[in-house]
Amino acid sequence: MKPSPKTAYRDICRHAAQATLFHQPWWLDAACGPGNWQVAIARNENTGEVEGALPYHVRSRFGVKIVAPPPLTPFLGPLLCPPEGLNHYKLRAFEEALAAQLLSELPRLPAVRLKLHYDVHNWLPFRQVGFRQTTRYSYRILDLSDIEAVWASFHPKLRNKINHAARFCQVQQIDDAGPVFQLFERRFQQKGQAAPIHREWFAGVDQALMQRQARAAFLCSDRAGRPLAGAYIAWDQYSSYLLLTGFDEQANIRGAAALAVWASIQFVAERGLIYDFEGSMLPGVERFFREFGGELCSYHRLAKYRNRMWEVLFHTIRK
């Protein structure tokens, strides 16, 4: 008797080196809800062995159900397990066949969106079945072994801001991430907008990460103890991810947000991980992350629409 798709997927995640934090079943349980994510499985037609898996989440977007990653999930794409010893030609053929098989199992909805990890360079198999690609960018500090060299790579203005904030603020790691999330919410409230994620949802994800000792929160406060800025990171065995930042735009101490991020970088350096800013393409945010001297890294965002009408509709709504 073949194991269920989720059982097979959990086994893949225990062995697949390319499985990130965001592929883990427990992350998907927390971010989507245990019953709100599924997985497509591809098996070898001769041996029955699992050769690939694609976890997916059906969510509502503008009142329409689509396949898309849950919030705070920068990567969610297929995990492939090719046989050993394939040459380049056979590996490409394997990727193309597996991608087609996995994608054919997805529900037929108006839109399907995937985000591939930096290490997935070949998106041609997805193009063959109608996906369109957008190149996205983030910044990563790939080597934190020499923290003094990392500090020296910061933009001089950023170092000045951090030093200025350090004279008037204190930054500390906190157990309760609530104050950091409140600062995240405040960024949107001060702009008259609703935060893109709800507090209750974040609390569930935070609890799952905390149970696995896979997250840390840093809060920067002034001398009176008033919270000014915060940073929230999570990690897997290879990389950390800056999932949330928050700051009070009405605070009059410059550099508080940079000081909180710097504290999180130092924390990650002690663990020998990559620091991923999980970047934004927004000009102001991109410029802030760029000042930390990380390497510009590209990844693929893929989308497929049932027809041209849905594509035009989604792009119109997003504008």
What pLDDT digit, counting tens, does each position of 288-318 carry? 999 999 999 999 999 999 877 777 666 655 5
pLDDT confidence of residue 82: 86
Of residues 263 and 61, more confidently modeled? 263
- Distance (Å) of CA 63 to CA 23, 59, 77, 314, 317: 26, 9, 24, 11, 11
| Domains by residue range for the chain, with CATH | 5-137+299-318 (3.40.630.30), 143-293 (3.40.630.30)
Nearest to 248 by CA among 222, 267, 224: 222
Contact between 115 and 295 (Cβ < 8 Å): no
Mean pLDDT of the chain, nearest integer: 91
pLDDT confidence of residue 318: 57
CB within 8 Å of 27: residues ≥ 6 apart? 21, 73, 205, 208
Contact between 68 and 39 (Cβ < 8 Å): no
Residues 30-40 pLDDT 10s:
999 998 999 99
Q: Binning pLDDT at 50, 70 and 90, where does residue 319 land?
A: very low
Residues 62-74 pLDDT 10s:
788 999 999 999 9
Residues 118-167 pLDDT 10s:
998 889 999 988 899 999 999 999 999 999 999 999 999 999 999 999 99
- Distance (Å) of CA 19 to CA 52, 91, 284, 316: 12, 19, 31, 34
Helix (H, G, I), strand (E, B), or coil: what is residue 34?
A: coil
CB within 8 Å of 141: residues ≥ 6 apart? 150, 265, 274, 275, 292, 293, 294, 295
Range with the lowest mean pLDDT among 41-45, 242-246, 262-266?
41-45
pLDDT confidence of residue 316: 56
The token pair at 135 is 């190149």
Residues 76-130 pLDDT 10s:
999 988 888 899 999 999 999 999 999 999 999 999 999 999 998 889 999 988 8
CB within 8 Å of 209: residues ≥ 6 apart? 30, 215, 234
Does residue 282 carry a pLDDT above 80?
no
Q: Binning pLDDT at 50, 70 and 90, where does residue 276 land?
A: very high
